[in-house]
């Protein structure tokens, strides 16, 4: 019996080691694949076109930036002689400054640019009045569109990922409004969003699609289960309908591939009631449709939004 004890101990040790290795292998098998950051495509765009690799090297894209980070990236990309400085790193201050830079670079006086009365964000009342004009201008120029679900979160500091996004989109907005690009066909576009509507009895049906214009398959990444957003404004700029209101979406990241020349199609119906459940008044309305998926590489000419103007009698 005494001779069996060492042998049994050896067997148990070996069995324990094998189970440990097996368990570790199982853990490796069920580990989810690492997902790239939602802003990575914007970082890649800046790195490839402006040599900002050193700026973003080692940065956690979810960490808050400093004011010096903002000024440094603007000098590396938009204007090497940039002498401005935002009041703070709050999102409203940085978006305002991006709008101001856009106006300056396109030869416009931001204060003289008329803005239709809009309230694109559910927390618009939290935006300081000194920044509001610039924030709304940035929304219309697609420099900044908030954090999704109609939230802008004006007073929260911006992250490196958000900085990469707003600077990239400022560059694109400047390019789209420059006289040099005004007569240039957007032949470099990979994506285009088209939309139409039909008034059907007591509702309006929106039909829209994202088309792959490139000659290769394109993979879109959606950060949640929400694939699109639709916002309807009345003629006074008041938001009367938002597709995502009252809906719950999964938080899983998922991907969808579109083959060349093909498209993803969607449909949504609005019953023409406002946020209080009352039928809206006759008048002119505008629907803004945005596709929320993004490809690995983005060009300044890609269109992920579409607008529809219609009249309710």
Residues 6+ apart with CB under 8 A from 304: 191, 193, 210, 290, 291, 292, 293, 294
CATH hierarchy code of domain 191-312: 2.60.40.2360
pLDDT, tens only, 181-205: 444 444 567 888 999 999 887 899 9
Burial-class residue 141 by CB neighbours within 10 Å (0-12, 13-18, 19+). buried
- What residue ranges do the domains of the chain occupy? 40-182, 191-312
62-85 average pLDDT score? 94
Contact 172, 164 (CB under 8 A): no
Q: What count of other Cβ atoms lies within 10 Å of the Cβ of residue 277? A: 7
pLDDT mean over 239-261? 89
Query: How much is the pLDDT for 303?
Result: 86
pLDDT at 111 over 80: yes
CB count within 10 Å of CB 298 equals 18
- Provide mean pLDDT across the span 30-46: 71
The predicted structure's pLDDT at residue 180: 41
Do 86 and 93 meet the contact criterion of CB atoms below 8 Å apart?
yes
For β-strands 203-212 and 191-200, DSSP reports them as: antiparallel
What pLDDT score does 33 carry?
42
* 62 confidence band (pLDDT: 50, 70, 90): very high
Quick one: pLDDT band at residue 21, thresholds 50, 70, 90?
very low
Q: What is the pLDDT of residues 75-98, one digit of tens each?
A: 999 998 899 999 999 999 999 999
């Amino acid at each position: 019996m005494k001779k069996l004890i060492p042998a049994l101990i050896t067997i148990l040790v070996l069995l324990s080691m094998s189970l440990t290795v097996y368990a570790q292998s199982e853990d490796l098998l069920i580990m989810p694949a690492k997902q790239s950051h939602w802003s990575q495509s914007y970082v890649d765009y800046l790195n490839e076109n402006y040599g900002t690799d050193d700026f973003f090297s080692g940065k956690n894209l979810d960490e808050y930036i400093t004011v010096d980070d903002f000024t440094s990236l603007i000098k590396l990309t938009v204007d090497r002689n940039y002498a401005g400085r935002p009041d703070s790193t709050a999102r409203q201050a940085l978006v305002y400054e991006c709008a101001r830079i856009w106006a300056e670079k396109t030869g416009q006086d931001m204060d003289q640019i008329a803005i239709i009365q809009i309230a694109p964000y559910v927390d618009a009342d939290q935006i300081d009045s000194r920044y509001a004009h610039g924030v709304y201008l940035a929304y219309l120029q697609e420099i900044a569109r908030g954090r999704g679900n109609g939230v802008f979160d004006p007073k929260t500091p911006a992250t490196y990922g958000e900085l990469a996004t707003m600077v990239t989109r400022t560059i694109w907005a400047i390019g789209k409004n420059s006289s040099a690009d005004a007569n240039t066909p957007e032949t470099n576009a990979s994506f285009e969003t088209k939309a139409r509507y039909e008034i059907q009895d007591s509702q309006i049906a929106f039909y829209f699609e994202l088309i792959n214009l490139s000659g290769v398959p394109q993979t879109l990444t959606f950060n949640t289960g929400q694939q699109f957003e639709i916002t309807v404004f009345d003629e006074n700029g008041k938001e009367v309908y938002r597709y995502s209101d009252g809906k719950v979406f999964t938080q899983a990241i998922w991907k969808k591939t579109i083959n060349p020349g093909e498209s993803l199609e969607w449909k949504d119906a609005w019953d023409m009631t406002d946020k209080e459940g009352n039928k809206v008044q006759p008048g002119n309305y505008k629907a803004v449709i945005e596709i929320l998926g993004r490809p690995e590489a983005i060009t300044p000419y890609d269109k992920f939004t579409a607008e529809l103007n219609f009249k309710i009698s």
